[in-house]
């Protein structure tokens, strides 16, 4: 199991001198705007942790202690519990949906909850498109780790988690025999105590440094140069609550694309919007990709997107404390909180049962439909001299008029010597009349993909374009 919790310790502080400090100062991100004394994940965050699997109908402990085994589905029941010292959740056996994920608030010097039982997710649901998981359950329990996996006709889901007070602690990996995408919908919990209710927000500390380069290897705020430890600032969506100044979470993906929710923005609208709602995030995950979340300092660290990986993926690349940690303001300003709670993108809706637990109803119907995929035209290399660019081109999808106002996003895939994708960059959405997009990119070889977006959803990405050079 490879969920990394870094072994450096410290507060949410700006750990990189020189350009980083100057960048934050010029952007107006003062030390007082950072969150309280939350600390980085380390082995201490997992001290004494360990999981057990519980049949929720009978209360029987089905598996605990370090072991590698196979458990019959009947022994676990239709919905079984994963119980640790620091976090807990339920799993629906038919599709491995994760329900009622929470931190327990158990004492730990790296606790981010303030000692309170803290619900995080009402549900994390993979859409198996009508199929179900039917096999026995593969179980591997380590000292503070758990890996469970179940398969069905053409699909399998693996869940990996760590029983720690914070860090990179959870990921879900879908596998499909047809190589297709799995849509995953994450819905935040709604506990009775308003102070403990989590919410998504557009982190203003990150928005303040968009376009600046921060990190241990930066020599210039304006130009970087970009590298593993010199990262260009970009917007960041985090999760917080109104109880603990240390509680902070973010979605963490690998070979996955966020499904945009164009009707959502911050309470005080900003441009460009992150197009994310206040209670729900939706992702399309590649077969063998990973969708997880990280907490604590890992959630507010400015890092490059994870490398492309579809086998034995890590929840976070190891950085050993060389990246900028920007923190977040507490309490989160009302204007930075994302709203409305949900959009009309198709989302499985959570409902609360009489016993207070969560169940998932069937998908809801939205009016209209998402656009079909645009038609890709030949991409064009950049001209020599001046800014380093390359241009993607496309034609509108055939149903663009019927689908309503359609805009476009372009994904630039940087390819290495053997055609392997080594980096990628996704553009902001274009206007509806756009049929090309010139992107400023690091020098190198690229292929482009394009997708269409409207208020209902997004199309699939096109196939990859011809190879061009940014120059």
pLDDT, tens digit (0-9, with 9 covering 90-100), for 365-402:
344 678 889 999 999 998 887 788 999 998 888 776 55
Residue 89's nearest CA partner among 161, 174, 166 is 161
pLDDT in tens, 76-100: 999 999 999 999 999 999 999 999 9
For residue 310, what pLDDT is reported? 52
CATH number of the domain to which 432 belongs: 2.60.40.10
344 and 383 in a single domain? The answer is no
The verdict on residue 444 lying in a domain is yes
- Bridge partners (DSSP) of residue 161 are 146, 170
Share of the chain above pLDDT 70, in %: 81
- Whether 345 and 392 map to the same domain: the answer is no
Instruction: Look at residues 320, 337, 362 and tell me which one is the last residue of a structural domain.
Output: 362
Give bridge partners of residue 293 from the DSSP assignment: 170, 251
Segment 214-220 mean pLDDT: 93
How far is 245 from 262, CA to CA, in rounded Å? 29
Please indicate, yes or no, whether residues 104 and 136 belong to a single structural domain of this protein. yes
Within-domain flag for 1: no
Residue where one domain finishes, among candidates 322, 340, 362: 362
Give the pLDDT band of residue 154 (cuts 50, 70, 90): confident
Q: Which of 362, 392, 407 is the last residue of a domain?
A: 362
Q: Within this chain, do residues 298 and 379 fall inside the same structural domain, yes or no?
A: no
Across residues 258-279, what is the average pLDDT? 91
393 and 318 share one domain = no
CA–CA–CA angle 468, 470, 471 (5° rounding) = 125
pLDDT for 104-140, tens place per residue? 999 999 999 999 999 999 999 999 888 899 999 999 9
The more confidently predicted of residues 57 and 355 is: 57
Please report which confidence band the pLDDT of residue 269 belongs to, taking 50, 70 and 90 as the band edges. very high
Are 289 and 142 in the same domain? yes
Q: Which is more confidently placed, 20 or 238? A: 238
What percent of the chain is predicted at pLDDT more than 90?
56
Q: How far is CA 470 from CA 383, 396, 427, 440, 458, in A?
A: 8, 24, 15, 8, 27
Q: How many domains does the chain have?
A: 2
Q: Give the model's pLDDT for residue 256.
A: 84
- Please state the φ and ψ torsions of residue 208, each to the nearest 5 degrees: -65, -20
Q: Who's near 353: CB < 8 A, 6+ residues apart?
A: 359
Range of the domain at 395: 375-470
Average pLDDT of the segment spanning 53-60: 97
Q: Give residue 468's Cα distance to chain centre.
A: 30
Q: How far apart are CA 58 and CA 64, in angstroms?
A: 16
- Rounded Cα distance between 97 and 78, Å, is 11
pLDDT for 130 equals 83
Average pLDDT over residues 322-350: 84
With respect to residue 368, please indicate whether it lies within any of the assigned structural domains. Answer: no
pLDDT attached to residue 447: 94
Instruction: Indicate whether 30 pLDDT > 70.
Output: no
CA dihedral for 424, 300, 332, 246, sign (positive or negative): positive
- Quick check: 287 pLDDT over 90? no
């Amino acid at each position: 199991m490879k969920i990394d919790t870094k072994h450096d310790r410290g507060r949410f502080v700006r750990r990189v001198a020189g350009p980083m400090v100057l960048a934050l100062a010029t952007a107006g991100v003062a030390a007082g705007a950072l969150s309280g004394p939350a600390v980085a994940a380390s082995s201490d965050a997992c001290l004494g942790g360990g999981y057990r699997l519980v049949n929720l109908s009978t209360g029987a402990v089905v598996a605990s202690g370090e072991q590698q085994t196979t458990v019959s589905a009947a022994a676990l029941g239709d919905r079984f519990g994963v119980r640790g010292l620091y976090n807990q959740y339920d799993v629906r056996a038919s599709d491995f949906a994760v329900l009622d994920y929470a931190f327990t608030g158990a004492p730990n010097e790296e606790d981010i909850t303030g000692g309170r039982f803290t619900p995080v997710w009402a549900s994390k649901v993979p859409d198996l498109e009508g199929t179900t998981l039917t096999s026995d359950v593969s179980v591997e329990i380590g000292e503070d780790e758990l890996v469970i996996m179940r398969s069905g006709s053409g699909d399998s889901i693996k869940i990996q988690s760590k029983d720690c007070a914070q860090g990179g602690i959870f990921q879900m990996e879908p596998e499909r025999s047809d190589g297709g995408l799995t849509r995953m919908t994450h819905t935040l919990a709604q506990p009775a105590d308003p102070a403990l209710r989590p919410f998504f927000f557009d982190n203003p500390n990150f928005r303040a440094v968009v376009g600046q380069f921060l990190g241990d290897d930066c020599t210039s705020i304006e130009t970087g140069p970009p590298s593993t430890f010199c990262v260009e600032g970009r917007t960041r969506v985090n999760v917080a609550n109104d109880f603990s100044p240390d509680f902070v979470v973010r979605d963490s993906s690998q070979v996955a694309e966020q499904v945009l929710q164009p009707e959502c923005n911050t309470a005080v609208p900003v441009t460009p919007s992150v197009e994310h709602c206040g209670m729900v995030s939706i992702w399309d995950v590649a077969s063998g990709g990973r969708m997880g979340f990280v907490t604590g300092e890992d959630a507010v660290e400015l890092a490059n997107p994870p490398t492309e990986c579809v086998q034995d993926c890590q929840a976070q690349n190891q950085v050993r404390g060389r990246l900028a940690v920007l923190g977040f303001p507490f309490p989160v300003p009302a204007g930075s909180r994302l709203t409305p709670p949900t959009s009309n993108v198709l989302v499985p809706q959570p409902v609360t049962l009489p016993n207070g637990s969560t169940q998932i109803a069937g998908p809801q119907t939205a009016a209209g439909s998402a656009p079909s995929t645009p038609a890709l035209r030949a991409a064009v290399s950049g001209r020599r001299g001046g800014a380093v660019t390359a241009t993607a081109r496309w034609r509108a999808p055939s149903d663009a008029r019927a689908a309503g106002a359609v805009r476009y996003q372009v994904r630039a895939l940087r390819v290495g010597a053997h055609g392997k994708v080594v980096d990628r960059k996704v553009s902001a959405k274009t206007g509806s009349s756009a049929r090309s997009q010139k992107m400023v990119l690091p020098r190198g070889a690229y292929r482009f993909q394009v997708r269409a977006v409207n208020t209902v959803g997004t199309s699939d990405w096109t196939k990859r374009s011809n190879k061009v050079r940014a120059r």
